[in-house]
Amino acid sequence: MTMINNTSINKDDSSLVMAHMWVAFVSLFVGGLMGLLQTLVRSGTLTLPFGIGYYQILTVHGVILALVLTTFFIIGFQFSLMSKTVGMSNKQRDSAWFGFWIMLFGTVTTAVTILLGKASVLYTFYAPLKAYPTFYIGLALVVVGSWIGCFTNFRQLYVWKKKHKGEKSPLLAFMVVINMLLWFIATLGVAATVLIQFIPWSLGMVDTINVLVSRTLFWYFGHPLVYFWLLPAYMAWYAIIPKIIGGKIFSDSLARLSFVLFLMFSIPVGFHHQLTEPGIDPVWKFIQVVLTFMVIIPSLLTAFSMFATFEITGRKKGYTGLFGWIKGLPWKDVRFFAPMVGMIAFIPAGTGGIINASNQMNQVVHNTIWVTGHFHLTVGTTVILTFFGISYWLIPALTGRKLTAKINTLGLIQTIVWAFGMSIMSGSMHIAGLLGAPRRSSYSTYGGTEQASEWIGYQIGQAIGGSILFIGIILMVYIFINMVFLAPKGHEEFPLAEVSDDAEPTPMFLENWKLWIGITVALILFAYTIPFIDIIQHSPPGSPGFDMLIR
């Protein structure tokens, strides 16, 4: 193992993680710029030049931020955690690089197809909108590359367990493996629809596509995708933030239990994205709504655990009173402040999610821009601010540099700019959505209808918020460049928290992988088998493709 002076992990592993970070931050800039253009077009303040289409930039925005940035950041961050906790052999690192190059090749293939205007199908690529085959082939390669990452992580823990018989696995390694299990099981759905339905259809090998099957397989993947984004943020909240605030992990068992529950309950719930969709038995929609609500349990376990960590740490520092411990938190440390703002944003974000999933009540918000406002709070604030919070120590730790006081202050400003811009943008989206404004649509006065005139003020609000957010993106990209090239050389801590002395010992059954995977598979089979057979048996005729439907 080659070590250099300043990095917190093995030099070779640092290069691997940094390669992922580069793709993530380039994606942040490109995707963010597209987001800014969208809000300006949608508010009627800008017309795109050179024949560039609104749906083209919307597709770039969604694919680059929701799929590329997140996947690369998460896989890179998780490799750093695995390297730190269970180690990485040369063979494992080689396979990780192989996965990285396949994902990157897939990303470039898909991005070029979209930029050439051949795939303006948005990131959900709903049939019967048809893209050029390379869009789907590129996406499939991203998934295949990520699977190599999955199996590398599984192997890493397996090898560690063999060397440490009878010991519980390190908490963060356990969490990474749960998240990658979730990802692998979930992406089987999107891989199936892309390989079996979309690619043959877009190549012209078949004339029609079964739309409902494709959407069902997409959302079988689409909802756990949200948790694939969220769980790395939870890793930081549970096992890294306590160290940054000078405390300890409240409970190792509770953290593991919540991750196990996320694995079980975040997959068999895709129908809550299809509540208004004809062709699915309402009974099965209701069953999946109930399963969706089960996800609230680990979310609230997490909220409780975080509050408890903060309170115990604050009180140990001598702060008293019912809420005096809040003053004991390091508000001026951006490594804490950015994720903390993300956590606060998760309160309205999670609440919005419960409203979305509330069966008939979904009709109030379905396909409105409320939903866009919702996921800009979840992934666009909670997750991304936590990722930024991770970057403030991870990037310098990887590059052998220091997080300087100046960058710390700039990071605090960046977080405030982000929170302010997002409050305006997402707030406008939520309200306009309740007033009926649709999502996914370009600027339109809808023939001068009175209802549409109510939306325009909020659309301008979105443009103002979006512009502020873009300033936040420029700041973050500068901070990234600073931490890679300009910051002084030094040692930056890789903060891994210890478990509290008061915590009960972790029961070994929490590592009974066969049990948890078995329950997960059983729940998926229960929730999907009968309705899926029903969907296939009673399908209407398949649809031909429409590749010029939206411009």
Partner 1 sequence: MSKSKHKTNDVETFSEKEPELKGTLIAVFGLGAFIVISWIIVYVLFVSR
The smaller minimum CB distance to partner 1, of residues 312 and 474, is found at 312
Question: For 269-356, where are the alpha helices, taking DSSP H only?
Answer: 282-294, 296-316, 334-356
227 among known catalytic residues: yes
The smaller minimum CB distance to partner 1, of residues 364 and 496, is found at 364
223 among known catalytic residues: yes
Smallest distance, partner 1 to C-beta of residue 319, A: 10
Exposure b/e, 48-70, CB count within 10 A at least 16 = b: eeeeeebbbbbbbbbbbbbbbbb
Candidates 57-65, 102-110, 362-370, 527-535; binding stretch for partner 1 (CB under 8 A): 362-370
The residue with tokens 């096992």 is 239
| H or E, element range at 428 | helix 405-434
Candidates 44-52, 107-115, 169-177, 356-364; binding stretch for partner 1 (CB under 8 A): 356-364
Report residue 432 as tokens.
């306009």
Give the separation between CA 392 and CA 382, rounded to whole angstroms: 16
Q: Binding to partner 1 by residue 290, rule CB under 8 A?
A: no
Q: Binding to partner 1 by residue 322, rule CB under 8 A?
A: yes
For residues 390-419, which are near partner 1 according to CB under 8 A?
none
315 among known catalytic residues: no
Instruction: By CB under 8 A, name the one of 315, 366, 439, 491 that touches partner 1.
Output: 315
Q: Binding to partner 1 by residue 502, rule CB under 8 A?
A: yes
Q: Binding to partner 1 by residue 450, rule CB under 8 A?
A: no
Smallest distance, partner 1 to C-beta of residue 345, A: 13
Give the separation between CA 410 and CA 482, rounded to whole angstroms: 11
Q: Binding to partner 1 by residue 434, rule CB under 8 A?
A: yes
Q: Binding to partner 1 by residue 363, rule CB under 8 A?
A: yes
The smaller minimum CB distance to partner 1, of residues 347 and 522, is found at 347
Would you say 123 and 63 are in contact if contact means Cβ atoms under 8 Å apart?
yes
Would you say 24 and 72 are in contact if contact means Cβ atoms under 8 Å apart?
yes
Q: Binding to partner 1 by residue 268, rule CB under 8 A?
A: no
Give the separation between CA 429 and CA 431, rounded to whole angstroms: 6
Q: Binding to partner 1 by residue 323, rule CB under 8 A?
A: yes
Candidates 219-227, 286-294, 347-355, 458-466; binding stretch for partner 1 (CB under 8 A): 347-355
| Nearest in space to 425 (alpha carbons), one of 382, 372, 477, 367 | 372
Q: Binding to partner 1 by residue 354, rule CB under 8 A?
A: yes
Q: What string of DSSP letters covers 6-21?
A: S-SS-HHHHHHHHHHH
Report residue 446 as tokens.
């809808």
Q: Binding to partner 1 by residue 351, rule CB under 8 A?
A: yes
491 among known catalytic residues: no
Judged by CB under 8 A, the number of residues near partner 1 is: 27
Q: Binding to partner 1 by residue 367, rule CB under 8 A?
A: no
The smaller minimum CB distance to partner 1, of residues 228 and 234, is found at 234
The residues, ordered by sequence, that sit 6+ positions from 296 with a Cβ below 8 Å of its Cβ are: 350, 354
Smallest distance, partner 1 to C-beta of residue 396, A: 32
Taking CA atoms, 154 is separated from 76, 80, 148, 178, 205, in Å, by 15, 14, 10, 9, 37
Would you say 116 and 81 are in contact if contact means Cβ atoms under 8 Å apart?
no
Candidates 184-192, 272-280, 307-315, 465-473; binding stretch for partner 1 (CB under 8 A): 307-315
Q: Binding to partner 1 by residue 474, rule CB under 8 A?
A: no
| Nearest in space to 178 (alpha carbons), one of 219, 142, 227, 211 | 227
Instruction: By CB under 8 A, name the one of 86, 172, 280, 365 that touches partner 1.
Output: 365
Give the separation between CA 92 and CA 97, rounded to whole angstroms: 9
Report residue 145 as tokens.
């590359």
The smaller minimum CB distance to partner 1, of residues 311 and 333, is found at 311
Q: Binding to partner 1 by residue 347, rule CB under 8 A?
A: yes
Give the active site residue among 42, 215, 374, 401: 374
The smaller minimum CB distance to partner 1, of residues 348 and 531, is found at 348
Give the separation between CA 102 and CA 139, rounded to whole angstroms: 10
Report residue 321 as tokens.
């009173």
Smallest distance, partner 1 to C-beta of residue 287, A: 20
Give the separation between CA 420 and CA 468, rounded to whole angstroms: 8
Report residue 349 as tokens.
């974000």
Candidates 69-77, 89-97, 282-290, 344-352; binding stretch for partner 1 (CB under 8 A): 344-352
Q: Binding to partner 1 by residue 360, rule CB under 8 A?
A: yes
Q: Binding to partner 1 by residue 308, rule CB under 8 A?
A: yes
Q: Binding to partner 1 by residue 364, rule CB under 8 A?
A: yes
Give the separation between CA 24 and CA 22, rounded to whole angstroms: 5
Would you say 401 and 363 are in contact if contact means Cβ atoms under 8 Å apart?
no
Catalytic positions? 223, 227, 374-376, 439-440
Given the rule CB under 8 A, which residues bind partner 1? 300, 303-304, 307-308, 311-312, 315, 322-323, 325-326, 347-348, 350-352, 354-355, 358, 360-361, 363-365, 434, 502
